A and B are shown apart, each in its own frame.
Chain A
Amino acid sequence: MFTASTPALQSLRNSDSGGHSERIRWRATRHRRAIVAVLVLLFVVQTVLTWTTSTAVPTERGGLSQQARRGRQWYQEFNCTACHQFYGLGGYMGPDLTNVTRAKGKGPEYTKAFILHGTARMPNLGVDKSQADDLVAYLDAMAASGTYPIRAANLTPYGTYKEMIPDGE
């Protein structure tokens, strides 16, 4: 694992000796440490702000009731994310579920039927009725938080789209 005499190590030792150049290198190291420290400090600030201000939607939209929290746990226990997405995040075997409980022609009962019985493509996962109710509550909380996908977006010259920034921000 450790060989003391490789050319790389010899070269490294040679390059690491010498008084003046050594001082310059240490000075550069101090500058580098300072840059990394500043970046990490900014990251800490960003982390705090992410946790405290990341919800652009009001808390009542996207907030989770006790039932919805149980639904989130079932969503993970049945590994629904392997096939489904929220806001396009997740597996691509099945459709995105962000607005499924509020979509035209669908709704909570439609969603519950799929969860309980599966389809030709979706296996019956053995979800019971109480779990299905919890899952629908979770999906409905997600549906209340926003809309996905964004159709007919208004593009800007800066490579963004107006719908990225919610009204009032």
Chain B
Amino acid sequence: MESRDPTAHLFLLFAVAALWIGAFFGVIGAWQHVVPGVIDVVPFVKSRPLHVSLVIAWIFMAAVGGIYHYLPETVGVPLHSPALVRAHLAIFLVTGLLVVGAYFTGRFGGREYWEFPPVLAIPIVIGWLLFTWNFFRTALRRRTPWPAYLWMWATGIVFFLFAYLESNLWLLQQPDDNVVRDLTVQWKSYGALTGSWNMLVYGTAMVVMERITGDTAPARSKSAFLLYSLGLTNLLFGWAHHIYPVPSASWLRILAYVVSMTEWIVLARIIHQWRRSVEASLFHTRSFSYRFLFASEVWVVLNLTLALLISIPAVNLFTHGTHITVAHAMGSTIGINTTILFASIAYIIGDPVALGADARARSLGFWLLNGSLVVFWACLIGAGLVKGWLTVMTDLPFETIMNRARPFIAGFATSGIGILLGLTLLGMQVSRHLLLRVLGAGGREREEWT
């Protein structure tokens, strides 16, 4: 029962393209911080939304493409409707082109992260409804209890829909419109949106690990469900750590503080199992997917430590509204999400081993991406520390503060080029193989890789 439908691979192919273009605009945006007015054709007001929306598109399309690929094997039946998968892809691509076109022509109207004209939210919701329908019609045919990753995917799919609709509720004018509630609800929905795509990505990491090791027990264990429940709790109740300084109801922010602190359990667990993870990574050294999964685990430790620290209100007082928040966002989207999604794509195209004709380019791309990201992340933290300290402890004007942080900002802009080069090398490798699979030459290609 093997499906030759290439749509899942097309999702992945377009996802990689979105990532590369998004990273390209990210580099432009970063340099516009260093040299204001540079590359005036695409000013920052356009380069930032282009960067953000395309990178979010990468995460969603790569996760969704992976789920379409893994789901039939996981459930034991073919996808409910391959035609709906093709419709979903077509809707996403057309909407994506319209969003990019809107940004280039300076037509905005939406809110942060979704700055495109709000009417374009309609096809996004329609596409997601098709995905939701297809997922549940397939997954609910499984006769045995669901492993944790199916729970994660289902949760991510449902909560994305809810949170995305909630993030657009500002379109309905309320009689008692208030800016504090406006900001609170906006960030409530963003917290759930981030949590929902994390559920899709972490579920993907679990299924890739299961496929590589052949061990199905971890995804069905109590600890997997404990971690899932913890993640869900944070998705639902931890979002208000984004808005500690906003004068919203105190119970919301205190609840978020308490809930956020439960993630120390996750960090402690990873550190406790660290030796086992390292040993496993040495055992699977020939697996390129595993290499990415191990890198993502390193980034989880770094980023979770940072997240836990900045979720403490007294620390957040100095870090909120600074580049430390960006470091956390970049560490999550590149260090964790992107490495997991590359692990998934590498597995899907045949898990290239650390040998072969392209091995050097693959390794160079991997190390360039991760090495540059370390510098990038550290520079953002440095810039954030300078900005946060000077903002809270002095009355210096904004320009002066930013000038003091400029060396760090130049460092992050420079290392951004390294990230782009790493993504270019990796993107070229996986795109070629995805394209061959789409064109039907994937079987032969897979043998050559392994």
Chain A contact residues, CB within 8 Å of chain B: 1-4, 6-9, 11-13, 15-16, 22, 25-26, 28-29, 32, 35-36, 39-40, 42-43, 46-47, 49-51, 53-57, 59, 62-64, 69, 73, 76-79, 81-83, 85-96, 120-121, 123, 125, 141-142, 145-146, 148-151, 153, 155-156, 159-161, 164-166, 169
Contacts and interface: CB of A to CB of B under 8 A. Distances in A.
10 closest pairs, A vs B, by CB?
Answer: A88-B321, A1-B3, A95-B398, A2-B72, A146-B247, A16-B144, A54-B184, A79-B108, A29-B145, A64-B177
A13 to B, nearest CB: 8
A159 B2 contact: no
A89 B183 contact: yes
B313 to A, nearest CB: 5
A91 B48 contact: yes
Contact of A59 (B151, B178, B245, B255): B178
Contact of B237 (A46, A62, A77, A91): A46
A53 B393 CA distance: 32
Contact of A56 (B187, B220, B249): B249
Interface in B279-314: 312-314
Contacts of B78: 2
A62 B179 contact: yes
B151 A32 contact: yes
A15 B173 CA distance: 53
A139 to B, nearest CB: 10
A136 to B, nearest CB: 14
Given A89-B112, A92-B387, 8 more contacts: A3-B2, A25-B145, A39-B236, A54-B180, A69-B177, A93-B48, A159-B314, A161-B313
B185 A51 contact: yes
Contacts of A55: 178, 180-181, 184, 248-249
B267 interface: no
B312 A89 contact: no
A42 B220 CA distance: 25
B72 A1 contact: yes
Contact of B250 (A32, A89, A164): A164
Interface in B224-249: 225, 229, 232-233, 236-237, 242-249
Nearest to B69: A1
B232 A39 contact: yes
A124 B145 CA distance: 59
A15 B1 contact: no
Given A1-B3, A35-B229, A165 B250 contact: yes
A68 to B, nearest CB: 8
Main secondary structure of the interface of B (DSSP, over half): helix
Interface residues of B, number: 91
A148 B391 CA distance: 10
A150 B176 CA distance: 27
Interface in B250-296: 250, 252-255, 257
Interface in B307-334: 312-315, 317, 320-323, 325-326
A169 B246 CA distance: 15
B187 to A, nearest CB: 7
Given A2-B1, A8-B211, A56 B36 contact: no
B176 A76 contact: no
Nearest to A90: B112
Contacts of B317: 150, 153, 161
Contacts of B391: 149
B69 A15 contact: no
Nearest to B40: A123
B33 interface: yes
A149 B321 contact: yes
A92 B2 CA distance: 50
Contact of A12 (B5, B45, B185, B216): B216
Contact of B184 (A50, A146, A148, A161): A50
B447 interface: no
Nearest to A13: B76
A120 B111 CA distance: 26
Interface string B1-29: 11111001000000000000000000000
Contact of B320 (A2, A46, A57, A88): A88
Contacts of A40: 236
B434 to A, nearest CB: 13
A46 B184 CA distance: 12
Nearest to B261: A159
Contacts of A142: 179
B429 interface: no
B216 A79 contact: no
Most buried by B among A6, A28, A76, A88: A88
B214 A11 contact: yes
A9 B112 contact: no
Interface in B106-160: 108-112, 115, 144-146, 151, 155
Contacts of B220: 15, 25
Interface in B18-69: 32-33, 36-37, 43-45, 48-49, 68-69
A36 B392 contact: no
A43 B225 contact: no
B188 interface: yes
Nearest to B213: A8
Contact of B214 (A7, A28, A54, A56): A7
Contact of B243 (A13, A15, A57, A87): A87
Contact of A54 (B43, B181, B393): B181
A93 B30 CA distance: 10
